[in-house]
């Protein structure tokens, strides 16, 4: 028996997000035939009962699937043991040594007509005409950072054709520099010098003197000690105190002791302003008279410095024994172009005159009868600068007023010695210029000239013994790696002198040309040649004292390292 069953399906549909949800119900009726239980066959009757309905409801919610993410897996690096060649292109270098800052160290004064050998340890020997013998040795010690010691010794002898025309000089010089852990630097400079010559410039030449009476020998022993901080301390102060003791004597048992003390201090206020305070004392006693000659000064000043302008304004109170003077100390420098500066100044200072300083200027000086210090008041203006990468120059004009300037005249007896006269007042117009041309270490040309016009003398008729014109020049040329040439020239106009009849005369102009060469023959062995006074002129720097003619010296230099 089949029964009719009605089934209804309801479907709920969700709309998009944000829209009002609305359920839509769909109903479907389906007749299903269902078998009935077996019964006895009877007559069919009509079924009037209502059909059964089953309702099924389902909810559907739409959604998006997650996007697939692409993952990258790092691959192992490829092992490559080959070296990649790298080529560096280095441009040509052109070093300009004139403009490189270098450390200033006290060194012994080199002979102007010779070569300065810069080896660490060396011995230099040579000989020449006029029975000349030359020897020199230099040694250096230290690590170059904490301590440096330079030891140098030299001697030279020569004998001319004139009677008693003989000279000998020798000396030893030690310079030591020590750096401390607190950024200070100590310097010690002991030295000894000896100079022996004979007074051969007497007139008439028929005079006969025992050689021991003509002996003129000077001995100098000194010790200089200094301390300075290499950079400013936490208070912005730099200092450099120095103390210098000098003992001087001659072959006539004349002695002089000198003590020089200097104490410069600088205090910076920022990058523009600074305060300078320079104090000094120069105390000396000469046993010739005997007499004491003391000089004291204090020099406070204010410094104003910018990249283009530098001004120093101050005074210098000074005591020359018992005489007090307030001297100016004003200088200015202004940069008007990239490499051109103008300079001007008004200064006053003392030049200390001692038996030692006067005999260094004129080795034929007679025993002194008095001493005075020279007071110099100067106003100057000038220009300095550079043109290109190799050429530098400087020019200055100055007007000076000198008080107690030392002059030198031949003694009235035979003229073999010079008496020292002090001119009370005189004026000097001075012109000075210098230039330098340098190309690395291959070529170096330097020249300088000074012209001085002396006037307004009150006691002496002329500026006895002072040069009115002086010019010097030097050329160094490194032709090859192992060959260097050098030439020097010294020119000056003759100085005025007073003859035995007290008449004013003037010496002839002088030209002195020198030539030198050095070249290597072995890694540690060099040969050198020096020729002085190539014009063979027996000129006179000091009246009645002609110099040697052409002098030729040659020798070897052996370097230990």
Band (32; pLDDT cuts 50, 70, 90):
very low
Give the pLDDT of residue 119: 43
Give the pLDDT of residue 40: 46
Cα–Cα distance, 380 to 481 (Å, whole number): 44
Residues 513-540: what's their mean pLDDT? 94
Residues 180-187: what's their mean pLDDT? 90
- Could you tell me which residue, 298 or 48, shows the higher pLDDT? 298
Q: Is the pLDDT of residue 29 over 60?
A: no
Cα–Cα distance, 85 to 517 (Å, whole number): 46
Q: Is the pLDDT of residue 531 over 90?
A: yes
Give the pLDDT of residue 49: 66
Highest mean pLDDT out of 39-48, 84-93, 227-236? 227-236
pTM: 0.76
Adjacent-strand bridge partners of 141: 149
Q: Mean of the per-residue pLDDT values for the chain?
A: 85
Give the pLDDT of residue 288: 76
Q: Within a 10 A sphere around the Cβ of 275, how many other Cβ atoms?
A: 16
Query: Hunting for tokens 């046993």 — which residue is that?
Result: 287
Which H/E stretch holds residue 250?
strand 242-250
Give the pLDDT of residue 463: 97
Give the pLDDT of residue 82: 57
Band (118; pLDDT cuts 50, 70, 90):
very low
Burial (CB count <10 Å: 0-12, 13-18, 19+), residue 57: exposed
Q: Is the pLDDT of residue 60 over 70?
A: no
Residues 268-297: what's their mean pLDDT? 91
Q: Is the pLDDT of residue 116 over 90?
A: no
Residues 436-456: what's their mean pLDDT? 94
453-486 pLDDT tens trace: 999 999 999 999 999 999 999 999 999 888 999 9
Name the region of 430 (left: φ>0; alpha: ψ -120 to 50; beta: rest): beta
Give the pLDDT of residue 48: 63
As separate numbers, helices (DSSP H) first and strands (DSSP E) second, the chain gives 1, 30
Give the pLDDT of residue 85: 58
218-233 pLDDT tens trace: 999 999 999 999 888 8
Give the pLDDT of residue 84: 58
Concatenating the DSSP letter of every residue in 260-283 gives EEEEEEEEEETTTEEEEEEEEEEE
Query: Hunting for tokens 């005079």 — which residue is that?
Result: 207
Residues 339-367: what's their mean pLDDT? 95
Residues 506-534: what's their mean pLDDT? 94
CB 174 within 8 A of CB 166: no
368-422 pLDDT tens trace: 888 999 999 999 999 999 988 899 999 999 999 999 999 999 999 899 999 999 9
Closest CA to 285 of 274, 294, 295: 294
- Could you tell me which residue, 375 or 338, shows the higher pLDDT? 375
Per-domain residue ranges of the chain = 2-60
Band (87; pLDDT cuts 50, 70, 90):
low
């Amino acid at each position: 028996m089949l029964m009719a069953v009605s089934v209804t399906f309801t479907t709920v549909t969700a709309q998009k997000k944000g829209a009002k949800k609305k359920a839509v119900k769909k109903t479907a009726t389906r007749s299903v035939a269902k078998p009935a239980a077996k019964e006895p066959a009877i007559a069919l009757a009509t079924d009037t009962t209502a059909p059964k309905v089953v309702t099924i409801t389902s909810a559907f919610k739409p959604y998006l699937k997650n996007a697939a993410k692409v993952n990258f897996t790092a691959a192992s690096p490829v092992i490559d043991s080959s070296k990649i060649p790298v080529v560096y292109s280095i441009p040509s270098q052109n070093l300009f040594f004139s403009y490189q800052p270098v450390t200033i160290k006290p060194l012994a004064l080199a002979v102007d007509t010779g070569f300065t050998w810069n080896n660490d340890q060396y011995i230099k020997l040579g000989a020449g005409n006029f029975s000349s013998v030359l020897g020199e040795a230099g040694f250096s010690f230290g690590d170059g950072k904490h301590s440096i010691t330079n030891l140098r010794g030299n001697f030279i002898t020569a004998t001319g054709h004139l009677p008693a025309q003989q000279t000998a000089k020798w000396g030893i010089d030690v310079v030591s520099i020590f750096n401390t852990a607190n950024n200070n630097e100590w310097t010690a400079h002991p030295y000894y010098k000896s100079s022996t010559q004979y007074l051969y410039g007497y007139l008439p030449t028929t005079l006969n003197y025992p050689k021991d009476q003509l002996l003129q020998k000077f001995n100098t022993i000194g010790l200089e000690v200094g301390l300075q901080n290499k950079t400013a301390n936490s208070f912005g102060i730099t200092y450099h105190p120095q103390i210098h003791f000098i003992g001087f004597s001659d072959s006539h048992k004349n002695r002089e002791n000198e003590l020089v003390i200097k104490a410069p201090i600088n205090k910076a206020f920022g990058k523009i302003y600074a305060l300078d305070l320079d104090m000094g004392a120069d105390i000396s006693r000469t046993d010739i008279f005997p007499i004491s000659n003391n000089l004291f000064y204090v020099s406070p000043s204010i410094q104003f410095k910018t990249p283009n302008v530098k001004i120093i304004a101050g005074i210098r109170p000074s005591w020359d024994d018992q005489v007090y003077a307030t001297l100016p100390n004003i200088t200015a420098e202004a940069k008007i172009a990239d490499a051109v500066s103008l300079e001007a100044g008004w200064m006053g200072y003392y030049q200390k005159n001692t038996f030692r300083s006067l005999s260094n200027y004129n080795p034929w000086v007679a025993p002194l009868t008095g001493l005075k210090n020279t007071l110099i008041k100067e106003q100057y203006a000038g220009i300095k600068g550079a043109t290109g990468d190799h050429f530098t120059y400087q020019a200055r004009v100055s007007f000076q007023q000198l008080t107690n300037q030392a002059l030198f005249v031949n003694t009235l007896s035979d003229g073999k010695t010079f008496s020292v006269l002090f001119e009370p007042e005189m004026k000097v117009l001075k012109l000075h210029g210098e230039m330098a041309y340098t190309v690395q270490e291959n070529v170096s040309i330097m020249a300088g000239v000074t012209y001085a016009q002396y006037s307004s003398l009150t006691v002496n008729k002329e500026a006895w013994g002072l040069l009115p014109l002086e010019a010097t020049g030097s050329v160094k040329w490194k032709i090859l790696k192992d060959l260097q040439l050098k030439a020097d020239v010294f020119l000056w106009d003759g100085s005025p002198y007073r003859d035995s009849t007290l008449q004013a005369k003037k010496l002839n102009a002088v030209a002195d040309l020198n030539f030198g060469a050095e070249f290597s023959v072995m890694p540690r062995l060099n040969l050198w040649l020096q020729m002085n006074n190539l014009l063979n002129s027996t000129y006179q720097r000091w009246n009645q004292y002609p110099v040697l003619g052409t002098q030729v010296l040659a020798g070897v230099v052996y370097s230990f390292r």
